[in-house]
């Protein structure tokens, strides 16, 4: 498969399916799906099933030599908020704080997970963890298929990094994927995230449900409700219609934000 300037592969990895997409970083166009395959989950060796499916797909598209970005479904990763310890001055201090918080939340040591974050010793920040075994499997696939890995990110992190520049002050961000709304409440200054919450979208969820959900989350976080929700992904059509009820919170789709 020939590659034009600016093109790369984005490989979406989930427990139940994988897909290979062609993306052009210089054009504001939706990714083109080249191949996809469902996976029968394996309780004993789930990452082997993912690796085998990827090898089969990449063999079909003949992608030798392409740069690739892996996007991992959020159910394969973990994200949490870290508060730096008082007086933290070294990278080791905040790394330890992230590890301790991980163990407190998930009941296991962080040794089997690769942790990345916007490290900050002065204010709370979010960290994400990806299983080392999965990362090793993806690295082996890339090596076997002669691909160059440029990024491996959780789906939410990938979407936030693409869209954050377009999120308005006072707005919250949402990622819609697989009947799940991953809701990100932003800080009052618009420069960071206050909380990330995955919320199942019930069948028939309309604008009333969305507004009630946003207001409830704001109360729980002791924040003002957002003036706007900006979403990436395939949001229900009812959410992005013009608001006719003054009590509803508007919702718009971010341009060029296909999940």
Shared fold status for 1-157 and 167-253: yes
Question: Given a cut of 80, is residue 27 above it in pLDDT?
Answer: no
Provide the residue count of the chain: 259
- pLDDT digit string (tens) for 160-216? 988 888 899 899 999 998 889 999 998 876 667 899 999 999 999 999 999 999 999
Residue 17's Cβ-count burial label (10 Å; 0-12, 13-18, 19+) is middle
Query: What residue segments make up the domains of the chain, in order of their start?
Result: 1-157, 167-253
Which residues lie closer than 8 Å to 234 by C-beta, 6 or more apart?
176, 177, 259
Strand locations in 25-179, DSSP E? 32-38, 67-72, 78-82, 113-117, 125-131, 148-154, 171-177
Say whether 173 sits in a helix, a strand or coil.
strand
List pLDDT tens digits, range 123-149.
899 999 999 999 999 999 999 999 999
Burial group, residue 196, by CB count within 10 angstroms (0-12, 13-18, 19+): buried
Question: pLDDT of 67-113, one tens digit each?
Answer: 999 999 988 999 999 999 998 889 999 999 999 999 999 999 999 99
- What separation in angstroms does the CA of 235 have from each of 182, 201, 204, 259? 11, 10, 12, 10
Could you tell me the pTM of the whole model? Answer: 0.86
- Percent of the chain residues past pLDDT 90, beyond the cut: 66
Least confident stretch, 61-65, 85-89, 136-140, 254-258: 254-258
Within 8 A by CB and 6+ apart from 244, the residues are none
Neighbour tally for 142: CB within 10 Å: 20
Task: Read off the tokens for 145.
Answer: 């298929």
**How many CB atoms sit inside 10 A of residue 121's CB?**
15
End-to-end alpha carbon distance in the chain: 24
- What is the C-alpha to C-alpha distance for residues 246 and 232, in angstroms, rounded to an integer? 24
For the 167-253 domain, the top CATH level (class) is: alpha beta
Within 13 Å, how many C-alpha atoms sit on residue 245's CB side? Answer: 11
CATH node for 1-157: 3.30.420.380
Q: Is the pLDDT of residue 28 over 90?
A: no
pLDDT in the model for residue 206: 94
């Amino acid at each position: 498969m020939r590659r034009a300037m600016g093109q790369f592969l984005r490989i979406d990895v989930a427990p139940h399916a994988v897909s290979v997409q062609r993306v052009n970083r210089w054009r504001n166009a939706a990714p083109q799906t080249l191949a996809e395959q469902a996976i029968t989950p394996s309780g004993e060796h789930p990452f082997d099933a993912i690796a085998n499916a990827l090898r089969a797909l990449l063999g079909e598209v003949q992608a030798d030599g392409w740069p690739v970005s892996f996007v991992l479904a959020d159910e394969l990763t973990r994200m949490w908020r870290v508060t730096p310890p008082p007086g933290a001055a070294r990278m080791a201090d905040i790394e330890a704080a992230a590890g301790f918080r991980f163990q407190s939340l998930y009941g296991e040591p962080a040794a089997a997970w690769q942790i990345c974050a916007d490290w900050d010793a002065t204010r709370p920040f979010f960290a994400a963890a990806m299983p080392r075994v999965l990362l090793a499997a993806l690295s082996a696939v890339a090596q076997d298929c002669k691909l160059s890995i440029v990024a491996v990110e959780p789906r939410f992190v990938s979407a936030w990094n693409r869209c954050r520049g377009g999120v308005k002050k006072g707005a919250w961000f949402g990622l819609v994927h697989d009947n799940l709304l991953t809701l990100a409440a932003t800080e009052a200054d618009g420069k960071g995230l206050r909380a990330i919450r995955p919320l199942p979208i019930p069948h028939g969820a309309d604008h009333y449900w969305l507004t009630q959900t946003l207001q409830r989350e704001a109360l729980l976080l002791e924040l003002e409700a957002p003036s706007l929700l900006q979403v990436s992904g395939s949001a229900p059509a009812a959410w992005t219609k013009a608001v006719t009820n003054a009590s509803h919170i508007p919702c718009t789709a971010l341009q060029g934000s296909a999940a």
